[in-house]
């Protein structure tokens, strides 16, 4: 087996997601290469060399790969894929954007959001918003897989793998990057945080999310939201937790003013401990909460912040 892991990176930094995908690759077994594709990514490549269990880091550093647009990145991966039995990427918006493109270019299927490795060709993945877990076996010569990073413990960083340049350069006349609006936050990334506190429609407004901030500061938590809170314009879309948002599995998840729709549960029900604060004691969120507090959030949150 030889496995290519597509590194996830933003703003010159290797994202923690990559170490989780390498862990999934280790469970498959074989030589593991990490591909860093982008523009001016020397620092990212350097960071990737430390990941335990990898054989080498391959670097495609060229302006055409800037912002990791799907068209050039898909073509690059397709050019490299013949050396590999598996290509893996995190089930991030980058991975989900490009891996199906690679798979189709190679005429193979793609397995999305894998949460378990049974063998080199058999994997477990959630379907129906996580309400069923499918075990699937692929007979394709190349397995193209996105990995749900919360399902695999990150590998440690004690390695010093060699770096090799990839000089494949592809053309891209199809797409161009125009701009980006990225949320600036000092807080940990939602997908990597040990504690997540999320607000729903019950928060009532964007300003009221400040009630969560004091608590998040004390707990070192990331802040999330339900789709209703995002749709109402309280907070930006990148904070959405759920079937169609981020999937998180922190040690502690605190849901505030969230009813517990299955689409929201799909994004957080693998958390180790779940706390729900809701004024409706019948809210379905209490069915999955380890600790439920029936209370008005406008009273409970200030008190909680003070007592932590």
Partner 1 sequence: MKVLVAVKRVIDYNVKIRVKPDNSDVDLTNVKMAMNPFCEIAVEEAVRLKERGVASEVVAVTVGPKAAQEQLRTALALGADRAIHVETDEKVESLAVAKLLQKVVDEEQPQLVILGKQAIDTDNNQTGQMLAALTGLPQGTFASEVKVEGDKLRVTREIDGGLQTVELSLPAIVTTDLRLNEPRYAKLPDIMKAKKKPLATKTPAELGVEVASKVTLLKVEPPAERQGGIKVGSVDELVDKLKNEAKVIS
Ligand X SMILES: Cc1cc2nc3c(=O)[nH]c(=O)nc-3n(C[C@H](O)[C@H](O)[C@H](O)COP(=O)(O)OP(=O)(O)OC[C@H]3O[C@@H](n4cnc5c(N)ncnc54)[C@H](O)[C@@H]3O)c2cc1C
Write out the residues near ligand X by the rule CB under 6 A.
200-202, 226-229, 240-245, 257-259, 261, 263-264, 267, 278-280, 283, 296-298
- Which residues lie below 8 Å from residue 205, measured CB to CB, with a gap of 6+? 234
| Smallest separation, CB 219 to ligand X (Å) | 19
User: 241: which DSSP letter?
Assistant: B
291 binds partner 1 (CB under 8 A): yes
102 binds partner 1 (CB under 8 A): yes
Size of the site for partner 1 (CB under 8 A): 90
236 binds partner 1 (CB under 8 A): yes
- Residue 18's φ and ψ, nearest 5 degrees, are -60, -40
In 3-state terms, what secondary structure has residue 196? strand
- Which residues lie below 8 Å from residue 203, measured CB to CB, with a gap of 6+? 209, 211, 212, 229, 234, 256, 257, 297
Closer by beta carbon to partner 1, 22 or else 98: 98
Which member of 158, 177, 186, 282 binds partner 1 (CB under 8 A)?
A: 177
| Smallest separation, CB 217 to ligand X (Å) | 21
Closer by beta carbon to partner 1, 58 or else 269: 269
Closer by beta carbon to ligand X, 49 or else 243: 243
41 binds partner 1 (CB under 8 A): no
CB 282, CB 275: distance < 8 Å: no
Residue 257's binding partner among partner 1, ligand X, none (Cβ under 5 to 8 angstroms by kind) is: ligand X
CB 209, CB 295: distance < 8 Å: no
CB 59, CB 36: distance < 8 Å: yes
Residue 110's binding partner among partner 1, ligand X, none (Cβ under 5 to 8 angstroms by kind) is: partner 1
199 binds partner 1 (CB under 8 A): no
Residue 237's binding partner among partner 1, ligand X, none (Cβ under 5 to 8 angstroms by kind) is: partner 1
Please report how many Cα atoms fall inside a 13 Å half-sphere around the Cα of residue 241, on the Cβ side: 34
Give the gyration radius of the chain's Cα atoms.
20
């Amino acid at each position: 087996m030889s496995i290519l892991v597509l590194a996830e990176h933003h703003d010159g930094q290797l994202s923690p997601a990559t170490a989780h995908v390498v862990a999934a690759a280790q469970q498959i077994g074989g030589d593991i290469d990490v591909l860093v594709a982008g523009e001016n990514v020397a620092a990212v490549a350097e960071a990737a060399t430390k990941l335990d269990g990898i054989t080498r880091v391959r670097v495609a550093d060229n302006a055409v790969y800037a912002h990791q647009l799907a068209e050039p990145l898909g073509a690059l991966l397709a050019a490299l894929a013949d050396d590999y039995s598996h290509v893996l990427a995190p089930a991030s918006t980058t991975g989900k954007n490009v891996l199906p493109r690679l798979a189709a270019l190679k005429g193979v299927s793609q397995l999305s959001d894998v949460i378990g490795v049974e063998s080199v060709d058999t994997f477990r993945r959630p379907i129906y918003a996580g309400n069923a877990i499918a075990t699937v076996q692929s007979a394709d010569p190349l397995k193209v897989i996105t990995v749900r990073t919360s399902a695999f413990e990150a590998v440690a960083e004690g390695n010093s793998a060699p770096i090799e340049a990839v000089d494949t350069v592809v053309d891209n006349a199809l797409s161009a990057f125009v701009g980006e609006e990225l949320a600036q936050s000092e807080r940990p990334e939602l997908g990597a945080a040990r504690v997540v506190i999320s607000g729903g429609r019950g928060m009532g407004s964007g300003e009221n999310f400040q009630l969560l901030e004091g608590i998040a500061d004390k707990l070192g938590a990331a802040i999330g939201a339900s789709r209703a809170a995002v749709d109402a314009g309280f907070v930006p879309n990148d904070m959405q937790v759920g079937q169609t948002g981020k999937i998180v599995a922190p040690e502690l998840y605190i849901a505030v003013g969230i009813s517990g729709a299955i689409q929201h549960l799909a994004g957080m029900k693998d958390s180790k401990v779940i706390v729900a604060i809701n004024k409706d004691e019948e809210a379905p969120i209490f069915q999955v909460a380890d600790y439920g507090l029936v209370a008005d959030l406008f009273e409970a949150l200030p008190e909680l912040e003070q007592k932590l």
